[in-house]
Structure 1
Amino acid sequence: MRSFHHLVVLLAAAGIIGGAQVARSAQAPAAQAPVAQMPADAPSAPAGDSAPSAPVASEVEAAALTGLRNDLLSSIREPGWREVRYGVMVVSLDRGDTLFALNPDLPLAPASNMKLFSTAAAYYYLGPNFRYSTYALADGELQNGAIEGDLILFGTGDPAISGRLASGSVAVLRALADSLLASGVREVRGDVVGDGSYFDSEWLGRGWNPENFMAWYSAPIGALSFAENVVSVQVRPGGGPGQPARITTAPQTQGLAVANQVRTVASGGTVVRFEHGEQGLVISGQIGRAHPGVAHSVPVVDPTNYAAAALRSVLQEKGIQVHGAVRAIHDARESRVSLLGGNAAAGQRPHPRVLAVHLSPPLSEIAKLTNHISHNLYAEALLKTAGRVALGEGSFDAGARAVRYLLECEGGAVDTTAMQIVDGSGLSPLNRVTARSLIQLLDLMTRSEHWESYNASLPEAGRPRPEGLQRMSGTPAERNLRAKTGTIQNVSSLSGYVRSADGERLAFAIMANDVPSTWRAKRTEDAIGASLASFSRTAAPPPIPARAGAAPRHPTARQPAARATGARSYRVRQGDTLDGIARRHGISLQALQQANPGVDPRRIRPGQTLRIPNG
C-alpha cells in the first residue's frame, strides 16, 4: 500500500498560512465489477486480490471449518430473532480463504464501525505524525502594543482543543494568549474573529436524530472547535421577579451566541428548557427567585463563535484589552486568511500576520482516542480533514469520496457502489456499508505502513475501558481480539482482528440491523469472537471408537509426538504467524507446535527463535 504524503498547514515566511498542497490528486478509478454474494455455508472468494491462494483443506481441516461455521450460525440463531438482518464475514489474512460469510454484500447501517473508515482515511491521507494547526493572526498593524484591527483565530479542524489530550481546553487558549503577550500585544482595537472557513458549515450529519441534538455525542463539528463544542451553562435567578435570569458558562465566554428567555418568578415551579435556534442556544422558561440554580451541559450551536467567545474571555483574563465584539466567519469568500500564500497585490490590504500557533497531538493519538472511546466529534473532524486534503473541500461528501478513492485505489477489486457514507462517526442511520467492504478495509490496512498504529487504535478484548472493550474476559479472545464496536438504535456491530488458536490472523466483520436488543446482539458478537479465537484448523474431531486391533482413524492429543531430529532454528520476523512459518518450511502446524512446546501461537514476537523439525 503506497503512502499518501499528508498535508501539513505551513506558515509562509511573511506570516501567511500556506494552503493544503496535495501530493497527488485523488482520481476516481474506473468502475469495478460487482462482487457476487456468497452463500453462508461455502467458502467465499479471498478478501483482496493480493491475498494468498487458499489451500485445499485436509479432512481434519474441513471438519474444523464445518464446526466453526456451525458454531457461528448457532450463535447468530440463538436469540430466535426472525426479522434481524445480519451481515457477517470472516477471512484468513494469512491464507486468503473465507471461513464464514452470511449476507456479506448486504448494505447495512454500521453504527460506529464507520469510524474504521474515517480513521483509515486519516492515516492514508495525513499519516500518523500529522498535527493540526490553530492560528492567532493580527489583521492590522501592531503599533505600540495595539493591533489596529481584528484578532483572528483560524482553525484547520483540530478536534482536540479539550481536556482529553491536552491539559485543558482553556489552557490551549491561554498558551496562545501568552504568545500574543510575548509578541507585544496588549490591546485589540477591533473584534475577536473566529474563522472556521477551512470546513463547510454543515455542522450536523444528515439523518442525525433531532432528539439527540442536545446530547454531547451530537455536538456540531467545525474547523474551529473548542472544548469538544460542549458548554456547561449555569442559570440562576435574576435581581427580582420579572427580571431575566443570570446566565454564566464554563468555560467562561464573552460573546457566546445565547438567547436568554428565562424570567425570575416570585413563586411557582422552576422550569428551564435548552434548545437550538437561529439565535444560537435558546434558554427559556422560569426560575424561582430562591432557587439555587440550574446547571446543564449542552452542545453549542456555532462552534466557531464558541471558540472566539472563549478566546475573548481569556484575553481579558490575561490583561489584553479587547475593544470590539465577537464575530464568526464560515464562508471562505469572507475569510481574510489566504490559503494560497504569497504577498498581497499592490494597493490591496496586507494579509493577516501570524502571531501564535497551537499544534495538536499527533494524529496517531487522535485516532486512538477516536476508536477507543468512539468519539463522534473526532471521527467527523478526521473525515472532513481527509476530504479537505484529498479534494480541497472540508465536507462530509468530500470525506466520503476520499474514503471511496482509498478503497478503490488500494483495496483491489473493491465495489463501493453499495456504500453510502453520510458521516464519519456512524451516528447517522443512513450510512450503508457491507461486511465485505469492512473486511477489504481491514485487509488493506494490514498491508499499510501505518498498520501497527491503526491496529493499536482498536480497543482490546478483556481490558477495561477506554483502552479495552471490557468484554470477552476469560475467553481465548481476551488480550487477543482487537475490534471497533458500534451501537445506535436497533443497530449493533463489531469488526476487527483476532488470532486463532493456531496463531492464524483473522479479520471479521459483524453487523446486525433491526435488533430488538443491542445488549443481546453484543452477546452474540462476543460468542463469535470467542469462537474465532478458539478455532484451529488442525484440531481433530472426537476420535471414533476403534475396533479391536484397528488403529484410530484420527490421531489424538494423547498420542506422543515424534521427537524432532536434526531440527533447524528460525528467527521470527515482523508479521510472521506459526501457520505461515510452517507452510513456508513445508511442515504441518501441528509438527511445529510439538517442536516448540510452551509457545503461544498468538504471542510470537519478532526476534523469537523457533525450532523447525525436519519435514
Structure 2
Amino acid sequence: MIRRGVPFVLVAMLLAARPVDMEGPTAQEPSALRTDGVESGQPSAGLSTTIHPGDGPGLEAGPVLHPRPPSPPLATAREALQRSIDGILGGTRWRGSEFGVLVVDGETGDTLYARQPHVALAPASNLKVLTTAAALHLLGPDFRWMTWVTTDAPIVDGVVQGDVILFGTGDPFLRPSRAEVGALDALAAALRDRGIRRVEGRVLGDATYFSGPDRLEAWDPRDLNDWFAAASPALSYNGNMVQLRVEASTAGSPPRVHTDPAHEGVAVDNEARTSSGRPASRLQVLRDAPTEPIRIVGEIQRGGRDVYRSMTVQDPVLFTAHGFDRALRDAGIRVVGEPGTIRESSRSPLAGQRVFTAGDHEVLASHRSPPLLEALAIVNIESHNLFADLVLRTLGRVEAGEGSYAAGAAVVEGFAVDEVGVGPDEVRLVDGSGLAADNRASPGALVAVLRHALASGYGEALLETLPEAGTRQLRRMARTPAARNLRAKTGTIEGVSALSGLVRTADDRPAVFSIMGNDLPSAWGAKRLEDEIGAAVAGWSSSR
C-alpha cells in the first residue's frame, strides 16, 4: 500500500502523465527534452557532473539543449542527496566492484540520482520484479493453474481398467496435507466420491505441458541440492523438496531413514552404520549430482540425536506421482501398479495443446490453484525461485505456446522492451528467478518496469508483493525513515547484491529506485550500503 497520505490513484495518474523516457531526447523529438534540462540516464541539473571516485563509466553528462535548471532550493536539495549517496558508495574502497543506481521522482519522472543507470548488470533476485510485472500484465492477478486426473480406460463397477494420469500445468502450490487438506488428497477424495475403489493400472505423472530442461546449466552446480535450485517441471510437489531424518538403530546396523513427505519416489543409498560408542566418522547426507541417489555415509551413535537434511528431489514428476499414489491408497483406493511418468509429449495423450482439453480421456477430478497474486507474494517476499521459474515457464506456454525457460524469457524480455520501452541491451533473461549469473538488467530497466506497473491497474497489487522494510518481511532499515515505508525486492547471489522498489520521501513524494552491485567482496556489506541509501532517500526532502 502506498503510504503517507497520497492516494494511489493520484500517483498512478501522475506516473502515467510523465513516463520515463528511457531512450533520452533527440533533436527530432524536442518535446522529449526533460524539464530539468537533462537527458534520461544522465545526472539531473543541479547535480555535480564531476566523476567521483568509483563512479565508473557512463556518468559523463551528454549535450543539453537550452536547459531550464530547477529552482535553487530543489537544485540544492538534489546536490545534497547526490553527495549523501556518493559518500555512501565511495566509503567502501572496494576495488573492482561495479555499482548501478537510479532514483527517480515517482510523480514527475525526474532523475534524483543516477550512476550507470543503463548498464546491464547481474540483478540476482531483483529479476523477479520483471517476471512479476510481466505475469500481472499478461496473465492477470486472478490467473490460476489447473491439475487434472484423467483416464482413457473404461470404469466398471468402480474399477479403472487401466492407468490414471495426473496432468500438471505448473501449479507451484501442490503440497502434502498439513493444517489443511492438500491438493493431492482432495483429488483422491474426489475419485473415491465417484465410487472408484481400485485402479488396475498405475498412476502416471504427466508434465509434458512444459518443454525443455527443468534445471539449467547456467545454475551453479554447487547449488543443485538446495531448495532455491529445485527443478521446475509442470508437475511439482512440496516445492520439489524432501526432508530426510536419519535415526540411529541397533549397534552395527544401518540407521533408519525417514522422509517427509512420507512416501516412496526418492532414491536413497544408506551406507551408514550405527555405532555403540563415539562415531569413527561423521554421518553425512550427500549427493554429487541432482539426478543421482542420495547417499548416507559415516556413523551415528546409538542413542544420539537424529540427523536432518533437506534436499531437492531427483525426479519431481515421479515424486509427485508417488504422492498421488499414496493419497489414493490413504483414500481407500487400491492401485495395482507402481507409479510412473510420461516424459515425452509424443507419448502424452494430453500434450501439444495450447489450452488443455481432455480429448478421448475422461476427467475424473480437477484442482484449481490459488490465484497468481498469492504465488507472486511468495515469489517476492520469500524470494522463492521455484515459484518464479514456474511463472516464467507458464508465461512461455500461455503466450508463446512453449513452456520452456527460453520461451518464457523471450516473453518477459518482449514485455520489457515492447510494452515498457526498455532498451533491448538493458535486459536479458536466462530464468525467471535471477539465480543464473548470466541474467542481466539495468537499474533503468527495473525502474521503468516498476513505474509502468504503478501507472497500470496492477500497480497496487505488485507493491503488495514486495517486502516491507522494518517488518518480518524485510528485517532491515528498522528505526530509520524507511521502516514501514520502503517496499523493495532484495537480491543476492555470489558477488551480487541488489535492492529495487519504492519509498516515500520526507515530503511525501514517491521515489522509485534500483540499487545494484556486482563483483562485490561482501554481499552483506553491500546490503548495508543499500539500507543507507534507502534511508537517505526516505529522509530526503526536495525543499531542503
Per the TM alignment, residue 303 of structure 1 is displaced from its structure 2 partner at its CA by 1.0
Q: Distance in 2 between matches of 1:68 and 1:360?
A: 46
With normalisation by structure 1, the TM-score equals 0.74
Question: Aligned Cα RMSD in Å?
Answer: 2.9
Per the TM alignment, residue 494 of structure 1 is displaced from its structure 2 partner at its CA by 0.5
Contact 2:43 2:111 in 1 (8 A): no
Distance 1:160 1:168, change over 3 A: farther
Amino acid at match of 2:424: T
Does the residue aligned with 2:293 lie in a helix, a strand or coil? strand
Q: Map 1:54-453; keep pairs closer than 5 Å.
A: 56-162=69-175, 167=178, 171-236=182-247, 246-254=256-264, 256-262=265-271, 264=273, 269=281, 271-275=283-287, 277=289, 280-287=292-299, 290=302, 294-338=307-351, 340=353, 351-412=360-421, 414-453=422-461
Distance 1:316 1:89, change over 3 A: same
Per the TM alignment, residue 183 of structure 1 is displaced from its structure 2 partner at its CA by 1.2
Contact 1:125 1:389 in 2 (8 A): no
Question: Which residue matches 2:463?
Answer: 455
Q: Distance in 1 between matches of 2:409 and 2:503?
A: 28
**Equivalent in 496, 501, 506 of residue 501 of structure 1:** 506
Q: Distance in 2 between matches of 1:132 and 1:207?
A: 27
Question: Which residue matches 2:487?
Answer: 482
Contact 2:199 2:333 in 1 (8 A): yes
Q: Distance in 1 between matches of 2:539 and 2:497?
A: 23
Unaligned runs of 5+ in 1: 1-31, 45-53, 345-349, 540-615
For residues 121-165 of structure 1, the C-alpha deviation after alignment (integer angstroms, 9 at most, x for no partner) is 1111211011111111123111111111111111111111237xx
Question: Which residue matches 1:17?
Answer: none
Q: Distance in 1 between matches of 2:242 and 2:396?
A: 28
Count of matched residue positions in the alignment of Structure 1 and Structure 2: 487
For residues 163-199 of structure 1, the C-alpha deviation after alignment (integer angstroms, 9 at most, x for no partner) is 7xx8569722111110010111111111111111111
Contact 2:209 2:351 in 1 (8 A): no
Does the residue aligned with 1:519 lie in a helix, a strand or coil? helix
Contact 2:160 2:200 in 1 (8 A): yes
Does the residue aligned with 1:493 lie in a helix, a strand or coil? strand
Amino acid at match of 1:83: G
Amino acid at match of 2:98: R
Contact 2:150 2:365 in 1 (8 A): yes
Q: Distance in 1 between matches of 2:379 and 2:325?
A: 29
Amino acid at match of 1:248: H
Per the TM alignment, residue 358 of structure 1 is displaced from its structure 2 partner at its CA by 1.4
Unaligned runs of 5+ in 2: 1-21, 26-38, 50-66
Q: Does 1:535 align with 2:534?
A: no
Per the TM alignment, residue 417 of structure 1 is displaced from its structure 2 partner at its CA by 2.2
Per the TM alignment, residue 227 of structure 1 is displaced from its structure 2 partner at its CA by 0.6
Comparing 191-200 with 154-163, greater Cα deviation is found at 154-163
For residues 333-367 of structure 1, the C-alpha deviation after alignment (integer angstroms, 9 at most, x for no partner) is 221225547999xxxxx722211111111111111
Contact 2:443 2:514 in 1 (8 A): yes
Amino acid at match of 1:445: A
Q: Distance in 2 between matches of 1:91 and 1:284?
A: 53
Contact 1:337 1:351 in 2 (8 A): no
With normalisation by structure 2, the TM-score equals 0.83
Does the residue aligned with 2:130 lie in a helix, a strand or coil? helix
Q: Distance in 2 between matches of 1:234 and 1:92?
A: 52
Q: Distance in 1 between matches of 2:409 and 2:357?
A: 34
Q: Distance in 1 between matches of 2:535 and 2:501?
A: 13
Question: Which residue matches 1:472?
Answer: 477
Distance 1:240 1:337, change over 3 A: farther
Taking only the aligned residue pairs, the percentage that are identical comes to 37
Contact 1:273 1:285 in 2 (8 A): yes
Contact 1:245 1:262 in 2 (8 A): no
Distance 1:154 1:59, change over 3 A: same
